[in-house]
Chains A and B, each alone.
Chain A
Amino acid sequence: EAGVAQSPRYKIIEKRQSVAFWCNPISGHATLYWYQQILGQGPKLLIQFQNNGVVDDSQLPKDRFSAERLKGVDSTLKIQPAKLEDSAVYLCASSLDLDRVPDTQYFGPGTRLTVL
């Protein structure tokens, strides 16, 4: 079974630039999560999708971050404009079905973002 795919794996940008990350979940997984993991901290949930609908985006800084999952499969997370404090690893995870409470989530390899 293929795992969660993410790209790019690394990205370096200057502050005020924009950046986008892509995630392809495990085939058949309805629930998709984006996390931000700052060095030395635990992952922080940014947004959670069930199919193409948003379940929770309460911790997403909506003035600069946006995410979509238009067809209910892969997803894109965008930051515009980036700030120095956005430097982190962005992890995507997926789980089979939100209604199967609780459900194991599987993580992708992450995208390491450095903002200079």
Chain B
Amino acid sequence: GENVEQHPSTLSVQEGDSAVIKCTYSDSASNYFPWYKQELGKRPQLIIDIRSNVGEKKDQRIAVTLNKTAKHFSLHITETQPEDSAVYFCAPVYNFNKFYFGSGTKLNVKP
């Protein structure tokens, strides 16, 4: 199966700063790269995704970049706000929509 690693495991930033979370994966056949946000006690929710034929995608303050050669993709959050505080999971997809979730990154945005 897919080996997925996320770094860092925890990240603390000041409100207004940027945050970057990196996800590395092992299966070169992976073709879809989503990021999920999970607030405490809530369900995971998709916040942004990218497909293997695209290098970067942006949605307001959130962006995802993909490096297929190096087998990693990253989540970028700019102008962070306290409501961005949550656990973020990457879940690269391969082989018939198999989602393998990373171990998560806990982001804390300090006001």
Contact = CB atoms under 8 A, between A and B. Distances in A.
A108 B97 contact: no
A91 interface: yes
B100 A45 contact: yes
B97 A31 contact: yes
Contacts of A54: none
How many residues of B sit at the interface, in one of the four size bands? Answer: 20 to 34
How many residues of A sit at the interface, in one of the four size bands? Answer: 20 to 34
Interface string A33-62: 101000011111100100000011010000
A98 interface: yes
Contacts of A41: 103-104
Contacts of B102: 42
Contacts of A91: 43-44
B93 A43 contact: no
Contacts of B44: 43, 91, 107
A102 B93 contact: yes
B104 A42 contact: yes
Interface stretch (B14-22, B45-53, B57-65, B75-83): B45-53
Given A101-B31, A110-B43, A42 B103 contact: yes
A43 B32 contact: no
B73 interface: no
B107 to A, nearest CB: 15
Interface of B: 1, 31-32, 34, 42-46, 49, 51, 89, 91, 93, 96-104
16 contacts: A33-B99, A41-B103, A41-B104, A42-B89, A45-B98, A45-B99, A55-B96, A101-B31, A102-B51, A102-B97, A104-B34, A104-B46, A105-B97, A107-B43, A107-B45, A110-B43
Interface of A: 31, 33, 35, 40-45, 48, 55-56, 58, 91, 95, 98, 101-105, 107-110
